[in-house]
Structure 1
Amino acid sequence: MTLKPGDKLPAVEFTVATADGSQKMPADVIFGGRKVVVIGLPGAFTPTCSMNHLPGFIAAHDAIKALGVDTIACTAVNDIHVMKAWAKASGAEGKVTMLADGNAEFAKAAGLELDLTSAGMGLRSRRYAMLVDDGVVKALNIETERGVNASSAETMLETVKGLA
Protein backbone atom coordinates (compact mmCIF):
# COMPACT_ATOMS: atom_id res chain seq x y z
CA MET A 1 0.00 0.00 0.00
CA THR A 2 1.33 3.42 -0.96
CA LEU A 3 1.85 6.06 1.71
CA LYS A 4 -0.68 8.85 1.81
CA PRO A 5 -1.05 12.09 3.76
CA GLY A 6 -1.62 11.36 7.43
CA ASP A 7 0.50 8.19 7.40
CA LYS A 8 3.59 7.80 9.57
CA LEU A 9 6.76 6.96 7.66
CA PRO A 10 7.82 3.31 7.84
CA ALA A 11 10.39 2.43 10.50
CA VAL A 12 13.35 1.69 8.23
CA GLU A 13 16.99 2.71 8.24
CA PHE A 14 18.75 4.78 5.62
CA THR A 15 22.49 5.04 5.16
CA VAL A 16 23.75 8.61 5.46
CA ALA A 17 27.14 10.23 5.14
CA THR A 18 28.33 11.86 8.35
CA ALA A 19 31.58 13.47 9.50
CA ASP A 20 32.38 10.07 11.04
CA GLY A 21 31.74 8.16 7.81
CA SER A 22 28.72 6.28 6.51
CA GLN A 23 26.18 5.35 9.17
CA LYS A 24 22.81 3.64 9.36
CA MET A 25 20.19 6.03 10.65
CA PRO A 26 16.58 5.19 11.55
CA ALA A 27 13.82 7.18 9.85
CA ASP A 28 12.52 8.40 13.21
CA VAL A 29 15.90 10.05 13.93
CA ILE A 30 16.02 11.71 10.50
CA PHE A 31 12.42 12.92 10.51
CA GLY A 32 11.48 13.16 14.19
CA GLY A 33 10.64 16.69 15.33
CA ARG A 34 11.53 18.17 11.95
CA LYS A 35 9.84 19.36 8.80
CA VAL A 36 11.49 17.69 5.79
CA VAL A 37 10.90 17.85 2.05
CA VAL A 38 11.84 14.46 0.62
CA ILE A 39 12.43 13.78 -3.04
CA GLY A 40 12.45 10.21 -4.24
CA LEU A 41 14.26 9.41 -7.46
CA PRO A 42 14.80 6.29 -9.56
CA GLY A 43 18.57 6.67 -9.51
CA ALA A 44 21.57 8.89 -8.92
CA PHE A 45 23.31 10.12 -12.07
CA THR A 46 20.37 9.10 -14.28
CA PRO A 47 19.47 11.73 -16.90
CA THR A 48 16.11 13.04 -15.68
CA CYS A 49 17.15 12.89 -12.03
CA SER A 50 20.43 14.70 -12.67
CA MET A 51 19.27 17.26 -15.22
CA ASN A 52 15.71 18.05 -14.14
CA HIS A 53 14.72 16.83 -10.68
CA LEU A 54 17.57 17.33 -8.20
CA PRO A 55 18.79 20.65 -9.69
CA GLY A 56 15.41 22.28 -9.06
CA PHE A 57 15.63 21.50 -5.36
CA ILE A 58 19.20 22.71 -5.15
CA ALA A 59 18.16 26.01 -6.77
CA ALA A 60 15.04 26.31 -4.56
CA HIS A 61 16.91 25.45 -1.35
CA ASP A 62 16.68 28.92 0.21
CA ALA A 63 13.04 29.45 -0.80
CA ILE A 64 12.00 26.08 0.62
CA LYS A 65 13.89 26.64 3.87
CA ALA A 66 12.29 30.11 4.17
CA LEU A 67 8.91 28.35 4.43
CA GLY A 68 9.94 26.64 7.67
CA VAL A 69 11.34 23.43 6.20
CA ASP A 70 14.30 22.18 8.24
CA THR A 71 15.83 19.87 5.65
CA ILE A 72 15.60 18.84 2.02
CA ALA A 73 16.43 15.16 1.63
CA CYS A 74 16.87 12.97 -1.42
CA THR A 75 16.45 9.21 -1.46
CA ALA A 76 17.27 6.77 -4.24
CA VAL A 77 17.94 3.06 -4.51
CA ASN A 78 21.70 3.53 -4.60
CA ASP A 79 24.48 2.93 -2.10
CA ILE A 80 25.86 5.75 0.04
CA HIS A 81 29.08 5.99 -2.00
CA VAL A 82 27.12 6.73 -5.17
CA MET A 83 24.86 9.17 -3.31
CA LYS A 84 27.89 11.02 -1.87
CA ALA A 85 29.53 11.24 -5.29
CA TRP A 86 26.27 12.50 -6.80
CA ALA A 87 25.90 15.16 -4.09
CA LYS A 88 29.41 16.38 -4.82
CA ALA A 89 29.04 16.30 -8.62
CA SER A 90 25.62 18.01 -8.57
CA GLY A 91 26.38 20.77 -6.08
CA ALA A 92 23.90 19.33 -3.58
CA GLU A 93 26.42 19.16 -0.72
CA GLY A 94 25.24 21.32 2.17
CA LYS A 95 21.81 21.79 0.57
CA VAL A 96 20.31 18.32 0.16
CA THR A 97 20.81 15.42 2.59
CA MET A 98 21.34 12.20 0.68
CA LEU A 99 19.53 9.16 2.08
CA ALA A 100 20.78 5.93 0.53
CA ASP A 101 18.10 3.24 0.22
CA GLY A 102 20.45 0.69 -1.32
CA ASN A 103 18.18 -2.33 -0.86
CA ALA A 104 14.95 -0.43 -1.61
CA GLU A 105 13.73 -1.07 1.95
CA PHE A 106 12.13 2.37 2.26
CA ALA A 107 10.76 2.34 -1.29
CA LYS A 108 9.09 -1.05 -0.71
CA ALA A 109 7.81 -0.24 2.80
CA ALA A 110 6.35 3.06 1.52
CA GLY A 111 4.73 1.41 -1.51
CA LEU A 112 6.84 3.64 -3.75
CA GLU A 113 8.96 1.00 -5.47
CA LEU A 114 9.26 0.83 -9.25
CA ASP A 115 10.33 -2.29 -11.12
CA LEU A 116 12.66 -1.21 -13.93
CA THR A 117 14.03 -4.70 -14.53
CA SER A 118 12.96 -4.55 -18.18
CA ALA A 119 15.22 -1.50 -18.60
CA GLY A 120 18.13 -3.28 -16.88
CA MET A 121 17.88 -1.12 -13.73
CA GLY A 122 16.23 -3.55 -11.29
CA LEU A 123 14.03 -2.37 -8.44
CA ARG A 124 14.06 1.40 -7.98
CA SER A 125 12.05 4.18 -6.37
CA ARG A 126 9.19 5.98 -8.06
CA ARG A 127 9.71 9.68 -8.67
CA TYR A 128 7.98 11.78 -6.02
CA ALA A 129 8.25 14.67 -3.60
CA MET A 130 6.69 14.74 -0.15
CA LEU A 131 6.47 16.95 2.88
CA VAL A 132 7.01 15.14 6.16
CA ASP A 133 6.38 16.79 9.54
CA ASP A 134 7.64 14.94 12.62
CA GLY A 135 7.58 11.64 10.74
CA VAL A 136 4.07 12.08 9.34
CA VAL A 137 3.36 12.58 5.64
CA LYS A 138 1.62 15.92 5.07
CA ALA A 139 1.71 15.88 1.26
CA LEU A 140 2.85 13.36 -1.34
CA ASN A 141 3.18 14.24 -5.03
CA ILE A 142 3.89 11.14 -7.14
CA GLU A 143 4.71 11.35 -10.84
CA THR A 144 2.29 9.37 -12.98
CA GLU A 145 3.87 10.33 -16.30
CA ARG A 146 7.46 10.60 -17.50
CA GLY A 147 9.27 13.77 -16.53
CA VAL A 148 9.26 16.05 -13.51
CA ASN A 149 5.97 17.84 -12.95
CA ALA A 150 4.04 16.80 -9.83
CA SER A 151 7.31 16.29 -7.94
CA SER A 152 9.15 19.39 -9.13
CA ALA A 153 10.66 21.95 -6.77
CA GLU A 154 8.20 24.55 -8.05
CA THR A 155 5.21 22.30 -7.32
CA MET A 156 6.61 21.42 -3.89
CA LEU A 157 7.11 25.12 -3.06
CA GLU A 158 3.43 25.73 -3.82
CA THR A 159 2.45 22.63 -1.82
CA VAL A 160 4.42 23.76 1.23
CA LYS A 161 3.02 27.32 0.94
CA GLY A 162 -0.50 25.90 0.82
CA LEU A 163 0.05 23.93 4.02
CA ALA A 164 1.75 26.76 5.93
Structure 2
Amino acid sequence: IADIAKTANVGIGTFYLYFADKYSLYKYLLLEYSHQIRSSIAIAVKGIPSRKEQERVGIRTFIKFARDYPQSYTIIWQSLQVDRKLFIDYYQSFAAHYTKGLQLAHEHGEIDEGDYVTSAYTLMGIANFVGLEVIMFEENLQDDQTIDKIVDHIIKILEHGLFK
Protein backbone atom coordinates (compact mmCIF):
# COMPACT_ATOMS: atom_id res chain seq x y z
CA ILE A 1 0.00 0.00 0.00
CA ALA A 2 2.83 2.37 0.87
CA ASP A 3 4.37 1.91 -2.60
CA ILE A 4 1.02 2.47 -4.30
CA ALA A 5 0.37 5.63 -2.29
CA LYS A 6 3.89 6.92 -2.96
CA THR A 7 3.58 6.30 -6.71
CA ALA A 8 0.20 8.06 -6.70
CA ASN A 9 1.75 10.91 -4.72
CA VAL A 10 -0.83 10.62 -1.95
CA GLY A 11 -0.59 9.75 1.71
CA ILE A 12 -1.40 6.27 2.95
CA GLY A 13 -4.36 7.68 4.86
CA THR A 14 -5.73 9.15 1.64
CA PHE A 15 -5.48 5.73 -0.02
CA TYR A 16 -7.60 4.23 2.75
CA LEU A 17 -10.30 6.87 2.22
CA TYR A 18 -10.96 5.25 -1.14
CA PHE A 19 -9.91 1.61 -0.71
CA ALA A 20 -10.08 -0.62 2.34
CA ASP A 21 -7.16 -2.75 1.15
CA LYS A 22 -5.22 -3.91 -1.94
CA TYR A 23 -8.03 -6.30 -2.87
CA SER A 24 -10.50 -3.39 -3.03
CA LEU A 25 -8.13 -1.49 -5.31
CA TYR A 26 -7.65 -4.56 -7.49
CA LYS A 27 -11.38 -5.17 -7.79
CA TYR A 28 -11.91 -1.51 -8.67
CA LEU A 29 -9.27 -1.69 -11.43
CA LEU A 30 -10.77 -4.88 -12.86
CA LEU A 31 -14.27 -3.41 -12.93
CA GLU A 32 -12.95 -0.14 -14.38
CA TYR A 33 -11.17 -1.94 -17.23
CA SER A 34 -14.27 -4.02 -17.85
CA HIS A 35 -16.34 -0.84 -18.11
CA GLN A 36 -13.78 0.91 -20.33
CA ILE A 37 -13.52 -2.05 -22.71
CA ARG A 38 -17.29 -2.43 -23.05
CA SER A 39 -17.82 1.30 -23.35
CA SER A 40 -15.15 1.63 -26.05
CA ILE A 41 -16.72 -1.18 -28.05
CA ALA A 42 -20.28 0.14 -27.58
CA ILE A 43 -19.27 3.60 -28.78
CA ALA A 44 -17.37 2.18 -31.76
CA VAL A 45 -20.23 -0.05 -32.97
CA LYS A 46 -23.04 2.44 -32.32
CA GLY A 47 -25.06 2.95 -35.46
CA ILE A 48 -23.51 0.04 -37.36
CA PRO A 49 -26.47 -1.94 -38.67
CA SER A 50 -24.93 -5.32 -39.53
CA ARG A 51 -23.70 -7.80 -36.94
CA LYS A 52 -20.75 -8.75 -39.14
CA GLU A 53 -19.53 -5.15 -39.24
CA GLN A 54 -20.19 -4.81 -35.51
CA GLU A 55 -17.94 -7.84 -34.96
CA ARG A 56 -15.24 -6.36 -37.19
CA VAL A 57 -15.31 -3.01 -35.42
CA GLY A 58 -15.71 -4.58 -31.97
CA ILE A 59 -12.74 -6.92 -32.39
CA ARG A 60 -10.62 -4.11 -33.83
CA THR A 61 -11.60 -1.84 -30.94
CA PHE A 62 -10.80 -4.52 -28.36
CA ILE A 63 -7.38 -5.27 -29.85
CA LYS A 64 -6.50 -1.58 -30.09
CA PHE A 65 -7.66 -1.06 -26.50
CA ALA A 66 -5.44 -3.94 -25.38
CA ARG A 67 -2.56 -2.45 -27.37
CA ASP A 68 -3.06 0.97 -25.80
CA TYR A 69 -3.66 -0.40 -22.27
CA PRO A 70 -1.65 -3.65 -22.09
CA GLN A 71 -1.88 -3.61 -18.30
CA SER A 72 -5.58 -4.44 -18.75
CA TYR A 73 -4.60 -7.99 -19.74
CA THR A 74 -2.46 -8.29 -16.63
CA ILE A 75 -5.27 -7.12 -14.36
CA ILE A 76 -7.88 -9.34 -16.02
CA TRP A 77 -5.80 -12.53 -16.15
CA GLN A 78 -4.33 -12.10 -12.69
CA SER A 79 -7.86 -11.99 -11.31
CA LEU A 80 -7.85 -15.78 -11.69
CA GLN A 81 -5.13 -15.92 -9.02
CA VAL A 82 -6.42 -13.07 -6.85
CA ASP A 83 -10.03 -14.26 -6.65
CA ARG A 84 -11.31 -16.92 -9.02
CA LYS A 85 -14.86 -15.58 -8.65
CA LEU A 86 -13.76 -12.17 -10.00
CA PHE A 87 -12.30 -13.88 -13.07
CA ILE A 88 -15.42 -15.96 -13.63
CA ASP A 89 -17.76 -13.00 -13.07
CA TYR A 90 -15.74 -10.86 -15.49
CA TYR A 91 -15.99 -13.34 -18.35
CA GLN A 92 -19.55 -14.52 -17.61
CA SER A 93 -20.77 -10.93 -17.54
CA PHE A 94 -18.99 -10.15 -20.81
CA ALA A 95 -20.43 -13.32 -22.37
CA ALA A 96 -23.96 -12.50 -21.18
CA HIS A 97 -23.87 -9.14 -22.96
CA TYR A 98 -22.36 -10.74 -26.05
CA THR A 99 -25.00 -13.48 -26.06
CA LYS A 100 -27.82 -10.93 -26.13
CA GLY A 101 -26.29 -9.31 -29.20
CA LEU A 102 -25.98 -12.64 -30.96
CA GLN A 103 -29.60 -13.54 -30.17
CA LEU A 104 -30.69 -10.21 -31.62
CA ALA A 105 -28.58 -10.84 -34.73
CA HIS A 106 -30.37 -14.18 -35.16
CA GLU A 107 -33.76 -12.48 -34.81
CA HIS A 108 -32.70 -10.15 -37.64
CA GLY A 109 -31.66 -13.10 -39.81
CA GLU A 110 -27.94 -12.27 -39.72
CA ILE A 111 -26.65 -15.44 -38.05
CA ASP A 112 -27.79 -19.04 -37.84
CA GLU A 113 -29.63 -20.35 -34.83
CA GLY A 114 -27.31 -22.03 -32.38
CA ASP A 115 -25.72 -22.05 -28.97
CA TYR A 116 -25.21 -18.32 -28.55
CA VAL A 117 -23.39 -18.66 -25.24
CA THR A 118 -20.73 -20.90 -26.78
CA SER A 119 -20.64 -18.61 -29.80
CA ALA A 120 -20.05 -15.64 -27.50
CA TYR A 121 -17.16 -17.39 -25.74
CA THR A 122 -15.74 -18.42 -29.13
CA LEU A 123 -15.74 -14.83 -30.38
CA MET A 124 -14.35 -13.57 -27.07
CA GLY A 125 -11.60 -16.18 -27.26
CA ILE A 126 -10.66 -15.14 -30.78
CA ALA A 127 -10.41 -11.48 -29.79
CA ASN A 128 -8.60 -12.31 -26.56
CA PHE A 129 -5.92 -14.53 -28.06
CA VAL A 130 -5.39 -12.49 -31.21
CA GLY A 131 -5.02 -9.53 -28.85
CA LEU A 132 -2.29 -11.46 -27.04
CA GLU A 133 -0.60 -12.16 -30.37
CA VAL A 134 -0.59 -8.47 -31.21
CA ILE A 135 0.45 -6.99 -27.88
CA MET A 136 2.67 -9.69 -26.37
CA PHE A 137 3.89 -12.22 -28.90
CA GLU A 138 4.41 -10.22 -32.10
CA GLU A 139 5.00 -6.58 -31.24
CA ASN A 140 5.60 -5.75 -34.92
CA LEU A 141 1.84 -6.21 -35.46
CA GLN A 142 0.75 -3.21 -33.40
CA ASP A 143 0.19 -0.53 -36.04
CA ASP A 144 -3.41 0.27 -36.99
CA GLN A 145 -3.07 -0.92 -40.60
CA THR A 146 -1.73 -4.33 -39.56
CA ILE A 147 -4.43 -4.72 -36.91
CA ASP A 148 -7.05 -3.93 -39.57
CA LYS A 149 -5.62 -6.67 -41.83
CA ILE A 150 -5.64 -9.15 -38.96
CA VAL A 151 -9.26 -8.30 -38.13
CA ASP A 152 -10.23 -8.64 -41.81
CA HIS A 153 -8.73 -12.15 -41.75
CA ILE A 154 -10.70 -13.01 -38.61
CA ILE A 155 -13.93 -11.87 -40.29
CA LYS A 156 -13.05 -13.91 -43.40
CA ILE A 157 -12.69 -17.01 -41.20
CA LEU A 158 -15.99 -16.26 -39.45
CA GLU A 159 -17.78 -15.60 -42.71
CA HIS A 160 -16.45 -18.49 -44.81
CA GLY A 161 -15.18 -20.96 -42.23
CA LEU A 162 -11.73 -22.39 -41.79
CA PHE A 163 -12.28 -25.86 -43.18
CA LYS A 164 -12.92 -26.97 -46.76
The TM-score, its normalising length taken from structure 2, stands at: 0.23
More helix as a share of residues: 2
Which of 1 and 2 has higher RCO (CA within 8 Å, sep 6+)? 1
User: Considering only CA atoms, is the larger Rg found in Structure 1 or Structure 2?
Assistant: 2
